[in-house]
Structures are given as structure tokens and as C-alpha cells.
Structure 1
Amino acid sequence: MKLLSVRSWKGLLIHLGIIAGLTIAAVLIFFNMYLPSTTNHGETVTVPDLEGLHIEEINEFLTKRNLKHEVTADSGFTQEYQPLTVLTQYPLPGAKVKENRKIFLSLNAVNPPQVKMPRLIDGSVKNAALLLESYGLEIGNIKYVPDLAQNAVLEQNYDGEPIKAGVFIPKGAKIDLLVGDGLGNTTLEVPELEGLVLDEAEVVILGSGLKVGNILFRDPSLADRDPKDELQQSQDRLVIVQQRPVAGRKIRIGQEIDIWMDRQEEQEDSILDKEEGTDSSEIL
């Protein structure tokens, strides 16, 4: 029995046209009707932000939004969140996905991973901060103590006790630092500076292991002067008329001394006025 009977070229073309038409119709029905109905074509869901949510909340939270989840093997740790809370997710929040899409989650570990304590001693505070961050640790309290090594780490402590480099501690732990203030414990007497010009005073101050602090003028009219301009110093005959701390006081090495300057003749006039006032009072 013959399914198709072709007696002419015209009949053959008609049959081929029927077959092509049926094929095209089948393709259109499959892609425009069947496939969309089985894949929810055009129906999308916005991925919610799951960061910080506990794993026990996730299932119900995603089910209501026609989504699923899967916990990845990789996990991280931060002290910012409780254990078993979401740290990262994929797809990211705000992404458009089809219903029943699986969201992959990374959770905060129950027990923080252990990391080696780095050596911070003898390094600067800035270097200690960078090093701790690279190890997943944090800087705790910074206490400055008298020591000539300014800003240098003298001791590293964890939970109130010194900790050696190489010891394993929980990631995210806070490390307290004992840091030198650059002054040391050595004390000395403040030198007498009154009556000296600035250059002389600087030599005395630095030679005593101290530092020059603020340079001020007693006379407001001199406020625009540059105290380090040697020409102006000689023209105005500026000398030191006051200092703080005062001469003879005990201070630690490296501390600053503030000085006040004025014209030498005005300083001498004020001294003479005081002496004349004393003489007249004695005469009376």
C-alpha cells in the first residue's frame, strides 16, 4: 500500500509543501506554546538579599518566593555575624531569575578557623595594623608607655596575656599593643632660656634632649614676624622673655618647651620700671 501517490511534478511539489508547512507549524507550537509552559517563560523572580539571615530562616524565606537554596562547601568567618548566618550568595541580590532557581549560599562557620599569630614587636603601629589585617586579625587597645622607640610595638597581647609569634589563635581575634611614646623614662631639668635669642635657645633645647615647641610673641604687633628670620631677629632684637615649663622643672626627655619672645629693650624697660617702683616704695 502506497502512502503517497505522485503522478506528476505538480503533485510532488504539493506534497513537499504540505510536509514543510506541518514541520514549521510543529516548530512554532513547540517553541511558542509547549516550551514556555514547561519552563515558565517570561516569569522571573527578584533574588532577595540573604546576607546576615540564619540558615533556619532561609528555607521558609525562599519558599515563599518560589526559590530554592544550596549551601556550598566553602565557608568563611567573621565576628560581625552569628554562626550559620549567610555571608555570601549567588546569584547576587537584585538579580532576575526564573522561579525555582537554586540560590547558592556560603555560611559563617560555627567555629572560627585558627590562624598563626604574626610577629609585631619592633615594627610600627601602622605595619602592625596591615599585618594583622592580612592574617584576619584585628587591633584591640593601643597603650603608649615611656620608651625612646616612638610608635614602635613593644609587646603584643591576647586576652590580657603576652602572645608569641606562631601561636594559633581564632581568626578575628583582637590583639592589644604596647607602644613606645618616644619619650622614655629619663628625666632632666629644664634649662634657663630667658634672655637668649632663638638660635641660642634652640641649641640649648636640642642639646638637652628636648624639643622646641610653640614660638609665640608677647607683643601682638610682632605676630606677623617670622621668628626664625635672623634679619628680623637682629633688627627687632628679639629675645626669649618667658618659657614653659619653667627653668629647673623636671621633665622627660623628648618633651617640648614653648617660648615667648619680645624686643630686648622693652624687656629691659619693664625690668627698670619694676626696680624704680621698688625703690620709690622703699623711700616711702
Structure 2
Amino acid sequence: MKLVQFFKSKSFLISLAAAIIISIVGVLGLLKWLKVTTNHGQRIEVPNLLKLDTYQAEQTLDQKELRMIVLDTLDYNKNFPPLTVLEQDPMPGSSVKENRKIYVKINAAGYGKVILPELEQLTYRQASATIASMGLKEGTKSYATFIGKDVVLEVHQNGKKLKKGDLVVKNSKIDFVLGDGKAGLSAEQLDVAPDID
């Protein structure tokens, strides 16, 4: 049987028609199944979870058939209650499908602690930049007799002397005792005003 005659045969045409019908029915069935299982066209508005604790946030999402995933606990933000939602993704008011994961970041329970680096014998400028980068604040400055002007001699917090390696709560104040630059100078050298006759 030649190839041309095979393509014209009744058995080939019936097989071809059956294959086309099965393919069309299969594609239509697949599209219908996808529409039903993916809830095509159905949207749920994401609720605002900010400032809710994790239990309240989870309950709110369960009512809307959404899921919560906690990504991280962020540094303490005093504008939000401790252990509450600080950030969420997708944002409130966004439209999502049922069973969508909502990612949240939680506010820490309080300020964390940092390890105090060596600050003694640094200039005040260097020391203040160092503590600012660590999330600490400058407190009071007092002076003691020392040859170096504005050199850090001691570091205190709430009256207690601190040293390298001490744990200090972030956002707290650090007090400095600085050199006045007058050690070893005579009274004549300290009096720098010219004599006026």
C-alpha cells in the first residue's frame, strides 16, 4: 500500500478524526478543571494586619481563607506594640486568591543589646560616631584633667562605669568623661589672654 493511498484510507481518516475529537475534549476539560481549581476570577481583599499580635493576625486571615507566614522579627519600633505585625506583603487592600500566603514581619519585644566596643582613648568625635552607628545615643559630657583635649577617658551609663565588651541596651544614652587638654600646663600657659596695658 502506497503512502498516498494510506492517507486516503477509511481507517486513517477515522483515527485522525478520533484523535482531533479527543484532543479538543481534553483541552476543554483541562481548561474547565483549571478554572475550577484555581478559582479564576475570584478575589479576596487582604486585611490590614499592622499592630495586630500574631494570634489576632492569624485569626483574621483564617476568616478570609488566607495563610500567614512569619518571615522575621525586626528591631524594636517604639511606634508599634511589642510582638505585633510591623510589615506585611501583600499590602492591605490588595486582591489575592484564596489560600494565598501573607508574609509578615514582627516587632521585637524590646530593644536589643549591643556589645560596647573600646571607646577609651578615642576622640570624642570618633566615639560619638561609633555609638551612633550601633543605635546608642549620646548622654552627658564631663571633663577631667588630661593632656589630650576631647579624648575619651571613661564611659558611663546610669552612673556605672562601662568597659569594652559590656552589653548595653540599644537606644540608651552613653555618658562620656573627656580630657580637658590642660594637664601639665602652668597657670601662665593656661592664661592665653594677652596683657592689655
Q: TM-score w.r.t. structure 2 length?
A: 0.68
Instruction: Please tell me whether residue 12 in structure 1 is matched to residue 21 in structure 2.
Output: no
Partner residue, 1:143: 141
> Match of 1:102, as an amino acid?
K
Equivalent residue, structure 2, for 1:165: 164
160 and 76 in structure 1: CA distance in 2 versus 1, 3 angstrom threshold: farther
In the alignment, is residue 108 of structure 1 matched against residue 118 of structure 2?
no
Q: Which has the bigger relative contact order, CA under 8 A and spacing at least 6?
A: 2
Q: TM-score, normalised by structure 1?
A: 0.51
Q: d(CA) in 1 for partners of 2:28 and 2:52?
A: 45
Query: How big is the shift at 1:27?
Result: 1.4
Q: 2:158 is matched by which residue type in structure 1?
A: D
Partner of 2:36: 37
Tell me the residue number matched to 2:58: 59
Other-structure match for 2:119: 120
2:172 maps to 1:174: yes
Encode CA deviations 1:46-75: one digit per residue, 9 max, x unaligned: 555645432243124334554221334x43
Deviation (angstroms), 1:38: 1.4
The alignment's C-alpha RMSD in Å is 3.5
Shift of the alpha carbon at 1:101?
A: 1.0
User: Which residue is 1:70 aligned to?
Assistant: 69
Kindly provide the amino acid, as one letter, of the partner of residue 38 in structure 1. T
Gaps of 5+ in 1: 1-7, 195-284
SS in 2 for 1:75: strand
The letter for the 1-side match of 2:20 is A
Partner AA of 1:161 in structure 2: K
Contact 2:76 2:110 in 1 (8 A): no
Report the counterpart of residue 192 of structure 1 in structure 2: 195
Give the SS at the match of 1:121. Answer: coil
Change (3 A) 1:111 1:192: closer
* Cα separation, 2, equivalents of 1:124 and 1:165: 16
**2 CA distance for matches of 1:29 and 1:65?**
29
In the TM superposition, residue 127 of structure 1 has moved relative to its aligned partner by 2.8
Label 1:24 to 1:66 Cα distance change in 2 as closer, same or farther (>3 A). Answer: same
Higher-Rg member (1/2): 1
The Cα of 1:117 is off from its aligned counterpart by 1.6
**1:24 and 2:27 correspond:** no
Question: 2-side partners of 1:82 and 1:184: how far apart?
Answer: 49
Distance 1:156 1:175, change over 3 A: farther
Cα deviations across residues 18-69 of structure 1 (Å, max 9, x unaligned)? 33222222212322x2212211224344555645432243124334554221
Unaligned runs of 5+ in 2: 1-7
Cα distance between partner residues in 1 of 2:50 and 2:127 = 30
Task: Give yes or no for contact 2:124–2:178 (8 Å, CA) kept in 1.
Answer: no
Any conservation in 2 of the 1:139–1:177 contact (CA below 8 Å)? no
Q: Are residues 62 and 37 of structure 1, via their aligned partners in 2, closer, same or farther at CA, if it must alter by over 3 Å?
A: same
User: Is the 1:54–1:86 Cα contact (8 Å) retained in structure 2?
Assistant: yes
Residue 166 of structure 1 and its aligned partner are, at CA, apart by: 0.6
